């Protein structure tokens, strides 16, 4: 089997993280409908995660939050979300990029997603290649260029 140099697994995970964004958009605009509530697990040590030092010491690698009854100031962005929650009656603001999310679960409908947090070298693979300073030379081959006119009815 050939090596996946396109990193389709990472592309699929990135696309599925869009489900989290869309679900949070619904919550932001309409609140949690019916019995829906969300469990979101994320890597606290992932780039872009912003939590207090107290929470980071308590959860040095992973944390799960529940969005159900008491959360405030939900902000949904293209790259992640932020939300205010209380921990032992102390308000905290959490900033979480979607790339840090490891799990998303809505137990009211038994819907869940699991993700692998991207490794730095894998994240680099998804970035567009830098533009060349000069026009690249196309490889030569025995392939022929066929005009679309050849397939049109005359």
Q: What is the pLDDT of residues 92-135, one digit of tens each?
A: 999 999 999 999 999 999 999 998 885 444 445 555 555 544 44
Sequence-distant (6+) residues with CB within 8 A of 35 are: 108
CB 115 within 8 A of CB 99: no
- Below-70 pLDDT ranges, the chain: 118-154
* Predicted pLDDT at 129: 54
Cα-flanking dihedrals φ and ψ of residue 30, to 5°? -125, -5
Q: Where are the domains of the chain?
A: 8-120
Return the closest-CA partner of residue 13 out of 98, 109, 111, 78: 98
- Give the domain 8-120 fold: SH3 type barrels. (2.30.30)
């Amino acid at each position: 089997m050939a090596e996946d140099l396109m990193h389709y697994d990472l592309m699929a995970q990135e696309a599925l993280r869009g489900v989290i964004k869309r679900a949070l958009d619904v919550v932001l605009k309409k609140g949690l409908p019916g019995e829906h509530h969300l469990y979101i697990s994320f890597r606290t040590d992932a780039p872009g995660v912003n939590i207090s030092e107290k929470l980071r010491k308590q959860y040095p690698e992973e944390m799960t939050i529940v969005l159900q009854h008491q959360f405030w100031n939900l902000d949904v962005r293209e790259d992640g979300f932020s939300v205010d929650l209380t921990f032992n009656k102390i308000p905290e603001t959490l900033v979480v990029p979607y790339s840090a999310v490891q799990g998303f679960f809505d137990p009211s409908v038994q819907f869940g997603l699991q993700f692998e947090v991207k490794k730095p070298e894998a994240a680099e693979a998804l970035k567009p290649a830098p533009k060349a300073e000069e026009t690249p030379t196309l490889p030569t081959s025995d392939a022929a260029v066929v005009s679309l006119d050849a397939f049109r009815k005359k």
